[in-house]
Chain A
């Protein structure tokens, strides 16, 4: 069977499974819709959280990004895993004890203020929206690359599948499809990685092959020979201060992302919340410790396969010919010697952030353009795996995109239908009305996400920094102080959130002015060496300081709030807390 037939078959089977699971876990009450009836076992919630968390970008692009960044790629590896330690130790157990359904629920109740609730709800919607558009785009791209379906059709198919299980099953449907999606994506990621580790080093376990073979030393040597710096040499792309700030911003941002936090409301008790954070990180770590190995293997393999060969020779390699057609791989013979040269710098000049294949970049001797996505996508062919593995990678990319999209859509729609509609405007709404509102809003959100997937606003890729920066500067400090500082009051928390949000938004806006507003140059390139991706850390620190100072200058929170804080600090009674 051809790769294409296999892809239709495997994608078809997995989609049918997601739809079946969504149908089997359809719900009739709001607790099922928002928090899966709090009946999800710790290990299943761990798998669902891992799928929720790992997006199309983690699956398809991250290894390629690390491959081109070398050591500096560690910001993503540590940043997107270390946040789970903060989540498990500082937030998840207490939020689970508190009960309820959403992040704005906690912030609104703890700070006895609808203003705080509304600000948290708006932050949730904004953070989730910037993120979800990219997922739908990812779905379209996988369809177009593997099945030659156009991007719009691919997005519509993806939207229809997500809409089905999210509208019908709410959190419960999403949870169990995410468990299935995790299984698909991790198998699809590991098989090619194991195969290429085995081919290049003779050791099939990527993490061990990466650490104990001499492949990384050989890669360092090749890089030096070609005029690059060593692959493992730190701070080549970013200064140390920026690496520190980005890593911290990503960690804290991860812990403050609403769609991740709400997953911990779905487990039966506080103990399960702690363990499921552990399971989640274990499942994530399987992919996140494989990615840097894959990055180094693929880079070594691509350089040693392509460099110095004649163009005719490399074009006879099957996967080179295939990926050259998709423009993920492109050649230009700058010096006219008929041979491929790999060197630092760009093969082509950039136009609007994309390479312009008609204008070679004459400042560099480099003759090969490698898109980051090719590292993961081409590995099965490079390692000469059977066509069904290539099909599996397509299904894995789709699983990663759909599971993340579903989680984000639920977080976004619960902020609208639960926090804004029910808690603020219609506190007398009946159970049936609330459930209907939830379903309508999630359907609208899916359609909106689909629209953005087909017509991506140009700034989306540039403002992912926003999602993490804003979560780090607004939600994380407010939740943390709400648990650990009994004296924190309404005035302090709201002032802190506003200062953190506004500062971070303004800073990212100024640093990314060309991408967001089309300005000719950034207003300021960085703050003390910290770039847009890391500036949320400064916003977070300002939030903490302002919240502390303002809260100490204003009256303490009322008696019943102080009692609530004491209450959430002990695990006993989490089952009952869920009832009201």
Chain B
């Protein structure tokens, strides 16, 4: 039981951290800070615009695969894998 609680805690704190990044790239970089970030250029496009139309989507993909990979490790560590 102790172990199950620990596993759940590890899982939820991983989720919290990843969702912070999720919100940072989309809501903060892509929307709230889009105007100041547009002062910086990435290649030929303003950076804030790039986060809103390209960058955030790339980060989303990476977040999901990272979560799946980290959970594989946690599952094995706590012996709850199949």
Contacts and interface: CB of A to CB of B under 8 A. Distances in A.
B42 A78 contact: no
A211 B26 contact: no
Given A82-B22, A212-B43, A282 B61 contact: yes
Interface in B2-57: 4, 7-8, 11-12, 15, 18-19, 22, 26-27, 30-32, 34-35, 38, 42-46, 48-50, 52-54, 56-57
B27 A285 contact: no
Given A274-B71, A570-B7, A571-B80, A207 B64 contact: no
Contacts of A78: 26, 30, 52, 56-57
A84 B59 CA distance: 12
B77 interface: no
Contacts of B22: 82, 85
Contact of A240 (B12, B32, B61): B32
A85 B60 contact: yes
B30 A74 contact: yes
A355 interface: no
Interface in A417-440: none
Given A211-B44, A285-B58, A575-B82, A569 B64 contact: no
B54 A210 contact: yes
B61 to A, nearest CB: 5
Interface string A275-306: 10110011001001100100000000000000
A285 B15 CA distance: 22
B61 A271 contact: no
A266 interface: no
A467 B5 CA distance: 36
A277 B52 CA distance: 21
A534 to B, nearest CB: 12
A89 interface: yes
A85 B67 CA distance: 9
Contacts of A498: none
A284 B82 CA distance: 29
The A contact surface, by secondary structure, is helix
B50 A211 contact: yes
Nearest to B35: A234
Contacts of A73: 53
Contact of B64 (A74, A247, A270, A277): A277
Contacts of B26: 78, 82, 247
B45 A232 contact: yes
A243 interface: yes
A572 interface: yes
Given A71-B52, A240-B32, A232 B38 contact: yes
A271 B56 CA distance: 25
A536 to B, nearest CB: 16
A232 B42 CA distance: 13
B80 A570 contact: yes
B32 A278 contact: no
B28 to A, nearest CB: 10
Contact of A289 (B32, B45, B54): B54
A102 interface: no
B25 to A, nearest CB: 9
Interface of A: 66, 71, 73-74, 77-78, 81-82, 84-85, 88-90, 93, 207, 210-217, 232-234, 240, 243-244, 247-248, 269-271, 274-275, 277-278, 281-282, 285, 288-289, 292, 484, 566, 569-575
* 6 tightest A-B CB contacts, nearest first: A74-B52, A212-B43, A274-B68, A278-B64, A292-B53, A232-B49
20 contacts: A73-B53, A77-B53, A81-B57, A85-B60, A88-B67, A211-B50, A211-B54, A216-B44, A232-B46, A234-B35, A234-B38, A244-B31, A244-B32, A271-B72, A271-B81, A281-B61, A285-B61, A288-B57, A571-B82, A574-B82
Given A232-B38, A278-B61, A278-B65, 5 more contacts: A81-B57, A82-B60, A88-B64, A234-B34, A572-B82
